[in-house]
């Protein structure tokens, strides 16, 4: 459908209201959601309360560095996606983390695996580089003894900053690798499963596991009075449910077959029926085409046009067998809808007979197909757009 472009424009407008583009790296727009300011305020508040104005500045600096690490994490996802031929719409930074929005879903499980795993790996690489290059690994052991790690915000210092960033990157890697959809770990899990059982079933398993973990984390959050953890668990639980519903919608639409669309309840004619009978049908039903069948065998098709021609030419009632078209294009019920449409257009006919092997099932017309495509396009606009947006966020 050619309104895809408009959808994207619409989204850009939507996001623009609440997010600001701060950079463009490797052709990928990086946008920050307005609510991200809350995180800066939180940092300022936490350290400012303990150490005054210098503390507030230090707190904001920490949050900005955390922000930079999240951007690098998302760039990891996005750059791998681009290398694999999946265009990246943008990276959006929210208070609860970042999302890389891809234009479409990875079609191969190995692609999803590589995209998902790169984010956490980037954080581990940052942590490792900082640990090794600064000698931090040597003095971290003595931190507790010096009272730097006691649950309070650390006293602003170079050491505290370094330690905080290392800890933040390790936390980002560990948290994201929890195998709970839609976290990276859940995507890694789904992609591994999908290699063996396909995306639809893998999604069901992965989202069920995601919801199970979310319930566990949520209960822990409630019992320990950790509001943030409870909210994150709720978010994971809902997102996992969305992912499952959208994967189902996608599966239905991409597997729309002729056998699903032909009219199963159509009126049929016997060869001995008369044209006046068909006129009755035409006047009392909306059906334009009638199959002429003997038992379960298709003999031909009588269309509204055939009837009108017969009425104009004949002075007396005739049998439908005399006016029916005997050459009818046949299509297998398992054929994708679009293939049959192309076949019909190629043969210059608007009707095809649908078969299941030797067994005649019914007729399908270009109008039926157009209607089915219209309906699925509508559903696509609703469900598929959401599917494309939600499922392609890392």
Interface with Zn ion by CB under 5 A: which residues?
A: 119, 176, 184, 394
Closest residue to Zn ion, judged by C-beta, is: 119
CB 304 within 8 A of CB 286: no
The residue (of 100 and 376) whose beta carbon lies closer to Zn ion is 100
Cβ neighbours around 83 below 10 Å, total = 12
Q: Based on CB atoms, which residue is closest to Zn ion, 29 or 184? A: 184
Q: Of 176 and 207, which CB lies nearer to Zn ion in the complex structure?
A: 176
Give least dist CB 377 to Zn ion, A: 32
User: Smallest gap, in angstroms, from Cβ of residue 374 to Zn ion?
Assistant: 37
Give the nearest distance from C-beta 350 to Zn ion in angstroms.
Answer: 50
Least distance in angstroms from the C-beta of 182 to Zn ion: 9
Output 48 or 120, the one with its CB closest to Zn ion: 120
Least Cβ distance, residue 85 to Zn ion (angstroms)? 20
Nearer to Zn ion, 116 or 352 (CB): 116
Nearer to Zn ion, 92 or 344 (CB): 92
Closest approach of Cβ 70 to Zn ion, in Å?
9
Is the CB of 55 or the CB of 119 nearer to Zn ion? 119
Which two tokens mark 294?
């003997």
Minimal distance, residue 394 CB to Zn ion, in Å = 5
């Amino acid at each position: 459908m050619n309104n895809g472009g408009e959808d994207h424009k619409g989204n850009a407008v939507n996001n623009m209201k609440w997010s600001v583009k701060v950079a463009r790296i490797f052709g990928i727009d990086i946008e920050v959601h307005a609510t991200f300011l809350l995180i800066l305020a939180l940092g300022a508040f936490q350290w400012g309360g303990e150490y005054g104005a210098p503390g507030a500045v230090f707190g904001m600096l920490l949050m900005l560095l955390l922000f930079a690490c999240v951007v690098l994490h998302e760039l990891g996802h996005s750059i791998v996606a681009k290398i694999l031929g999946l265009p990246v719409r943008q990276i959006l930074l929210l208070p609860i983390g970042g999302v890389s929005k891809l234009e479409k879903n990875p079609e191969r499980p190995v692609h999803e695996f590589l995209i998902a795993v790169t984010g956490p790996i980037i954080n581990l690489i940052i942590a490792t580089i900082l640990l090794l290059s600064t000698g931090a690994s040597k003095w971290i052991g003595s931190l507790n003894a010096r009272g730097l790690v006691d649950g309070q915000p650390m006293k602003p210092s170079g050491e505290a900053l370094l330690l905080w960033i290392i800890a933040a990157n390790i936390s980002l890697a560990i948290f994201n690798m929890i195998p709970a959809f839609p976290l990276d770990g859940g995507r890694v899990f789904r992609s591994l499963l999908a290699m063996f059982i396909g995306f639809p079933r893998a999604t069901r398993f992965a989202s069920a596991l995601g919801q199970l973990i979310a319930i566990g984390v949520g209960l822990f959050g409630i019992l320990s009075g950790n509001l943030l953890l409870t909210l994150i668990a709720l978010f994971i639980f809902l997102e996992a449910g969305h992912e499952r519903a959208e994967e189902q919608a996608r599966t239905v639409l991409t597997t729309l077959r002729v056998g699903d669309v032909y009219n199963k309840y159509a009126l049929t004619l016997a060869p001995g029926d008369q044209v006046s009978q068909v006129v009755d049908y035409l006047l009392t039903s909306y059906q334009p085409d009638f199959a002429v069948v003997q038992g379960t065998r298709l003999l031909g098709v009588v269309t509204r046009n055939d009837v009108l021609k017969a009425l104009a030419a004949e002075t007396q009632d005739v049998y439908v067998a005399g006016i029916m078209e005997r050459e009818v294009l046949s299509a297998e019920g398992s054929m994708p809808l679009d293939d049959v449409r192309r076949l019909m257009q190629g043969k210059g006919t608007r009707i095809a007979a649908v078969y299941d092997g030797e067994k005649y099932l019914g007729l399908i017309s270009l109008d039926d197909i157009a209607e089915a495509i219209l309906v699925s396009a509508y559903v696509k606009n609703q469900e598929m757009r959401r599917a494309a947006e939600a499922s392609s966020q890392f």
